[in-house]
Structure 1
Amino acid sequence: MSYIAASYVKWVESAGARVVPILYDMSPAQVRARFAMINGLLLPGGGASLRPGHQFYDTAKLLVDLAVEANDKGDYFPIQGTCLGMETLSIIISRNYTILSNFDAEDARLAMSAVVENPRLLDFFDVISLSLDKSGNAYVSTLEAIRYPIVATQWHPEKNPFEWTPSLHIPHTDNALAAEQQVVVCGAVLQLQEDDVLIYNWPPSFTGRHEYEGEEKDFEHPLAAV
């Protein structure tokens, strides 16, 4: 089943944009058609293979390449990569499929040494913040492109205002909310050709009662729901 956590949708909408889902298993022609309808991209968190030949990676790389090309032509096109999205951007830009390291913080992360030792990453991104895993090891938690409107966070800015799962201990303090508001991509007001590509064509499903569910609500793809 394909789904998008409602917190991403709310977060993007809070910046004044509308949401158009792009499915990872769309054909390149379909992806290009969707790209022509939008002017901002969010690569969300989750789990997927980040190797060439896998649908998620290939689709993400096509979108990133199109966004960079658009910016190079003077068409402002922002990207936000969150968690898996940051890892995806790191691999795409570095062209190194083993650049991520294991940390005691959920899953693979990007070490500072990997940025310093990879000229492509070092030339493309500024490291904005480092975080410590449970063992005290530092990893890169925020990246910002030097010449492009691209931001990548290993943390989830959409969760602070819109997720309330008690077991995740998500901070909802004034400082936490102020921090996430600085990350929201500005200027991505979508110009749509058809209303039938909007997220509202996907039925929402409340998932907050599930003990191990990390999101309060999901939008599930109508063709995937049975």
Structure 2
Amino acid sequence: MILQPIVMDICHIASGRTRRWLTAADSWCAILIMKAALLFVVVYFLRCEGAVIVKTTSDAVNNRPIIGVLSQEQSMYLHTKYPEENYTSYIASSYVKDVEASGARVVPIMIGKDRSYYQELMQKINGVLMPGGATYFNQSDGFADAGQHILDIAKELNDAGDYFPIFGTCLGFELLIILESGRGDPENRIRCYSYDNLPLNFTEDFRSSKMFKNAPEDVINLLKNEDVTVNAHQFCIVDENLKSHNLTEHWRVTSHSDDLYGVTFIASVEHTRYPFYGVQFHPEKSAFEWKLNKHYPSSAEAIKANRYFMDFFVNECRKSFHTFENAAEENQYVIYNYEPHFTGVLGSAYHQCYLFEPRGTVKG
């Protein structure tokens, strides 16, 4: 060891080079050598070029993730139920509950804002959920415009090494693909009618995907063999939609399902470069929507299978370390500033909804 000759010289001086003190000095030197060696190792690894300080498991993830859920234009039906309030946008609370059940909090993302609003907010949150629903993609300052801002900013963040995931459900998934297609006319999706609970027909290589590579085998078996995924859509994305707009290189299909007329549509997909994911079905409905005539699968097995998707996404969001400036700022943004309305009793397809006033102003 490099330090040993140096320390031994000191030891010889300390011993006075006499045999009488040699044994005691050698003992003292042995202790000194060990301490010096330990100090040398610590200094070396802390100061040498390229040394890495490894984080502990608790430091490597964000265990307080906050996810933005994008609102969308208020439905005409609910407009008739709240004519005086003039609510113009909403979020079904089943999405909020789904996120919270996986260990994250929610911030509502308002539509009708300029790009700076989304840029600023996305520096504070850890991912975005684009929910399902029923709105058009050609309305100015609405769901689609907000989605465009979010997708563009998320790409910029990820390109800069700042991990930022997006998850699209049903309408939100369709929006991701249409935005990637250039948002042209006609829209890059087809008519597709599915109001059934269906299994997933996985692709041969689905186990190598980011979304499913760590999925428990019992969850995969439920998704593959049981009617546990809730479908409620009049449009869908098919393989040809990806091929026609040269998206197959960047978007990987991991499963399909079949609609009422035998049309095979894409049921789950993920981006090959960015942490962007989409499903055509509704994982949130099994546990949090209760309309009797919809017959949503609410068995313990169905809930377990559907729980997997938000658990997966929230774990993705734990890889983002964006934070609000402090707890007081968090409190200004979180969904707790709003009261959910019992819209199911009014005939809405959603059991509860968060309703926002013109373009949604955050309450202090």
**TM-score over 0.5 (shorter chain):** yes
Q: Deviations over 1:165-201 (max 9, x none)?
A: 1111111123322322221112425733411111111
- TM-superposed CA distance for 1:30, in Å, is 1.6
CA distance in 2, matches of 1:175, 1:131: 19
**Closer/same/farther in 2, CA of residues 84 and 123 from structure 1, 3 Å limit:** same
Match of 2:306 among 180, 191, 195: 180
Contact 1:19-1:198 at 8 Å conserved across structures: yes
Match of 2:193 in 1: 104
CA distance in structure 1 between the aligned counterparts of 2:301 and 2:156, rounded to whole angstroms? 36
Say what the alpha-carbon RMSD is for the aligned residues.
Answer: 2.0
Q: What 5-or-longer segments of structure 1 have no aligned partner?
A: none
Output aligned runs, 1:187-198, within 5 Å.
187-188=316-317, 191-193=323-325, 194=329, 195-198=331-334
Deviations 1:101-130 (A, max 9, x none): 1112331111222223331x2111111111
| TM norm structure 1 | 0.90
Tell me the distance in 2 between the aligned counterparts of 1:115 and 1:187: 25
Deviation string 1:131-166 (CA, Å, 9 cap, x unpaired) is 111111111121111222211011111111111111
Runs of at least 5 residues in structure 2 that lack an aligned partner in the other structure: 1-86, 195-232
Partner of 1:50: 137
Q: In structure 1, which of residues 146, 150, 173 is the aligned counterpart of residue 272 of structure 2?
A: 146
The reply to whether residue 171 of structure 1 matches residue 297 of structure 2 is yes
Rounded to whole Å, the distance in 2 between the matches of 1:107 and 1:10 is 25
1:29 aligns with 2:116: yes
Displacement after TM superposition at 1:51 (Å): 3.5
Instruction: Find the counterpart in structure 2 of residue 207 from structure 1.
Output: 343
**Bigger relative CO (Cα 8 Å, ≥ 6 apart):** 1
Residues 110 and 139, structure 1, Cα contact 8 Å, conserved in 2: yes
Number of the residue aligned with 1:219: 354
C-alpha distance in structure 2 between counterparts of 1:72 and 1:52, whole Å: 29
Query: Is it true that 1:117 corresponds to 2:244 in the alignment?
Result: yes
* Matched AA of 1:221: F
Name the counterpart of 2:78.
Answer: none
Distance 1:158 1:37 in 2: 25
Secondary structure of 1:104's counterpart equals strand
- CA–CA separation in structure 1 for the residues paired with 2:264 and 2:105: 36
Task: Tell me by how many angstroms 1:224 deviates.
Answer: 7.3
TM-score (norm 2): 0.57
Cα distance between partner residues in 1 of 2:106 and 2:301? 27
The aligned counterpart of 2:260 is 134
For residues 323 and 248 of structure 2, what CA distance do their matches in structure 1 show? 34
Residue 43 of structure 2 corresponds to none
Return the alpha-carbon distance in structure 1 between the equivalents of residues 316 and 237 of structure 2: 28
For residue 65 of structure 1, the aligned residue among 152, 160, 164 is 152
Q: Which has the larger radius of gyration?
A: 2
Q: Partners of 2:338 and 2:130 in 1: how far apart? A: 18
Looking at structure 1, the residues matched to 340 and 183 of structure 2 have their Cα atoms a distance apart, in angstroms, of 37
Matched, 1:158 2:284: yes
Taking a change above 3 Å as real, the CA distance of residues 200 and 223 of structure 1, as seen in their structure-2 partners, is farther
* Matched residue count: 223
- Distance in 2 between the 1:70 and 1:154 partners? 26
